[in-house]
Homo-oligomer: A and B are copies of this chain.
């Protein structure tokens, strides 16, 4: 039995960041694909509070919440540190990772769903959040400095997932003119072989987001 297991869903941006971290650390793991429409006992028992993926099982002990899993991985396997060593830099990295999950992931998905007049406002509001990230890249190749780190992994959904959201919802959030550093970073990050090999096929993501969007809009239409 594998010492390290990941319970995940292959299209989830929150799960892919865990696989990236384990691969960066050179940790072998068994991947268990979860059917989110029919949740397994192992998921429900491992994460009884939220019943969400990803869950990391290390010697059968479950760790939940993707950003906390990244911290755990970094503390257990010391090679290739993910978080900065200095407490202040560490606090800053944690701050932006939480900010991005709360404001950028949710902002981008909100903009996807918005229609008509609301759409422009939602795209603008999400862009304001992305502008904070752009500033963090000034003078840096990666969010982690010269090498990728915790914050790069936390933001690693941007080049692939955001790009698909933009296509499906016919909008432009990550404008190269407006966010040149973020745009360059995204190109650089996604070309790294270790990052590339974990990405779900673009077509699957397009189908997934298109279906989710249709579903959300039908819900909204029935409640207006």
Segment of A85-93, A144-152, A165-173 in the binding face: A85-93
**Are B91 and A68 interface neighbours, CB within 8 A?**
yes
Question: In the complex where A65-B95, A65-B98, A132-B49 touch, is A72 in contact with B87 (Cβ < 8 A)?
Answer: yes
**Are B99 and A71 interface neighbours, CB within 8 A?**
no
**Are B91 and A71 interface neighbours, CB within 8 A?**
yes
Q: Within 8 Å of chain B (Cβ to Cβ): is A63? A: yes
**Are A68 and B95 interface neighbours, CB within 8 A?**
yes
Interface size, chain A (Cβ < 8 Å): 21
For A49, A69, A90, A91, which residue has the most chain B Cβ atoms within 10 angstroms? A91
Q: Which residue of B lies closest to A94 (CB)?
A: B68
Q: Within 8 Å of chain B (Cβ to Cβ): is A64? A: yes
CA distance A151 to B49 in the complex (A): 17
User: Of B63, B88, B90, B91, which one neighbours A88 at CB under 8 angstroms?
Assistant: B63
Q: How far is the CB of A132 from chain B (nearest CB, A)?
A: 6
Q: Which residues of B contact A90 (CB under 8 A)?
A: 71-72, 75
**Are A88 and B64 interface neighbours, CB within 8 A?**
no
Which 7 pairs of residues, A with B, have the shortest CB-CB distance? A75-B87, A72-B91, A63-B91, A76-B87, A68-B94, A72-B87, A68-B91
Would you list 26 pairs from A and B whose C-beta atoms are within 8 A, ordered by A residue? Answer: A49-B99, A49-B132, A58-B88, A61-B88, A63-B88, A63-B91, A63-B95, A64-B95, A65-B94, A65-B95, A65-B98, A68-B91, A68-B94, A68-B95, A68-B98, A69-B91, A71-B90, A71-B91, A71-B94, A72-B87, A72-B88, A72-B90, A72-B91, A75-B87, A75-B90, A76-B87
Given contacts A49-B99, A64-B95, A65-B95, 19 further A-B contacts (CB under 8 A): A49-B132, A58-B88, A61-B88, A63-B88, A65-B94, A68-B91, A68-B94, A68-B95, A68-B98, A69-B91, A71-B90, A71-B91, A71-B94, A72-B87, A72-B88, A72-B91, A75-B87, A75-B90, A76-B87
